[in-house]
Amino acid sequence: KQEVTQIPAALSVPEGENLVLNCSFTDSAIYNLQWFRQDPGKGLTSLLLIQSSQREQTSGRLNASLDKSSGRSTLYIAASQPGDSATYLCAVSLIRGMRFGAGTRLTVKP
């Protein structure tokens, strides 16, 4: 069974720092990997989608990489802002639907 792990579980940084969130998965037979943001009690907002054949995707201050062979993805956030505070979830697409990691809860302090 596919296991998706996110490290760290929680992260607190001062405003302006660059940071990296990690995601690992046990089975490399994925179709794609998607990063989401979730604010408390809210739904999921898609940040970046990386196809299994791609190495990275960028959107604004966000950059996500994928190393399918080693079962790893990273989400890089540049120049963090208090508004970036949220839980960040990675999810891998399988035949039986998308499976999620437990998320990294990010707090950016002013």
Partner 1 sequence: DTEVTQTPKHLVMGMTNKKSLKCEQHMGHRAMYWYKQKAKKPPELMFVYSYEKLSINESVPSRFSPECPNSSLLNLHLHALQPEDSALYLCASSQAGFRNGYTFGSGTRLTVV
What is residue 31's DSSP assignment? S
Pairing verdict, β 104-109 and 10-14: parallel
Tell me the two tokens of residue 57.
């995707």
| Count of residues near partner 1 by CB under 8 A | 27
- Quick one: which segment of 18-26, 27-35, 60-68, 72-80 binds partner 1 (CB under 8 A)? 27-35
Residue among 46, 58, 59, 107 that touches partner 1 (CB under 8 A):
46
Could you tell me which of 110, 109, 104, 95 has the C-alpha nearest to residue 1?
95
Residue among 86, 101, 104, 108 that touches partner 1 (CB under 8 A):
101
Peptide bond connecting 8 to the previous residue in cis, omega within 30 degrees of 0 = yes
Would you count residue 25 as binding partner 1 (CB under 8 A)? no
Residue among 12, 45, 81, 107 that touches partner 1 (CB under 8 A):
45
Would you count residue 89 as binding partner 1 (CB under 8 A)? yes
CB atoms within 10 A of CB 12: 11
- Give the footprint of partner 1 on this chain (CB under 8 A): 4, 31-32, 34, 36, 41-46, 49, 51-52, 89, 91, 93-103
